[in-house]
Amino acid sequence: MSVKRKLNTQYPILNTNKMSTGNMNLTLKVWRQKNNKTKGQLVDYKVADISPDMSFLEMFDVLNENLINKGEEPIVFDHDCREGICGMCSMFINGRPHGPKEGITTCQLHMRSFKDGDTIVVEPWRAKAFPVIKDLTVDRSAFDRVIAAGGFISVNTGNAQDANNLPIPKAQADAAFEAAACIGCGACVATCKNASAMLFVSAKISQLALLPQGQPERYKRVQGMVAQMDAEGFGNCTNTGACEAECPKGISLENIARMNRDFYAAKFISEEEG
């Protein structure tokens, strides 16, 4: 494509290879599964000339482009924002959710975290509550249903009091924010040996339990959300701490303890029936 540089607005990509020519060659073992009804398997793929500056998903883009050019079906995987905040990307890479680096999502993983010649195994999140849709894509709508069961403050739009009428100590607001940083990616479920969703559920319960606005529905909320979590078929927490270690947003196990406390208070102390 020849474009005159008259406008002097260079687009540093797409038409030049000068910036990063990759030299990594990798073997991928990727889970392929046509749909929910068929059985899947790991399939081997080779990718060549990968740049260490690529993100893991961009490496998959390259692989998919190759597959399309060869007339094969590309690998389906969830992804959207590609900056670590939407929570959509979800690959189980070399036995770990979001791959070998801590505190990041799959889309933030870069190829410089691997070595030339590596073999990389890529699987979908696996849990009964997260059925595979296709290849590496799973259905995480169970999380939405858990939120719908109480992960909110019942306040209709309009006529809220002035925001500063409700001072909240900074430490408390910060703690609520830390719990609220959860992106709902499901890495906690994926890595937990029990496929338990307690880190996710407790993060939302904690956020609202830490704030004065969340108090009126505190006990109702914890009972509703835990009941829905159980109904979805997630496993039970056995405190291995894998979820906390793998959470891209550093959500703490303290939240699970807080949820447990609230749950006991709701069931054994509160006079409200849940």
Identify whether the C-beta of residue 129 lies closer than 8 Å to the C-beta of residue 232: yes
3-state helix, strand, coil split of the chain in percent (to 5) is: 35, 15, 50
Of 191, 208, 201, 207, the closest CA to residue 244 belongs to 191
Binding test (CB under 8 A) with another protein, winner from 24, 63, 136, 242: 242
Least Å distance, CB 102 to another protein, is: 9
Residue 72: both structure tokens together: 């094969």
Taking CB under 8 A as the criterion, the residue among 91, 136, 246, 251 binding another protein is 246
Spell out, one character per residue from 36 to 65, where the chain touches another protein: x when CB under 8 A holds, - when not: ------x--------x-xxx-xx--xx--x
Cβ pair 125, 192 in contact under 8 A: no
Rounded to a whole number of angstroms, the minimum distance from the CB of residue 100 to another protein is 8
* Spatial contact of 113 and 98, defined as CB atoms under 8 Å apart: no
CB of 26 to another protein, least distance (A): 14
Chain positions 195 to 234 lying near another protein, rule: CB under 8 A, are: 195-196, 198, 207-208, 211, 213-214, 223, 226-227, 229-230, 233-234
Q: Where in 132-191 is the site for another protein (CB under 8 A)? A: 133-134, 137, 139-141, 143-144, 147-158, 160-164, 166-170, 173-174, 176-177, 180-181, 183-184, 191
SS3 210: coil
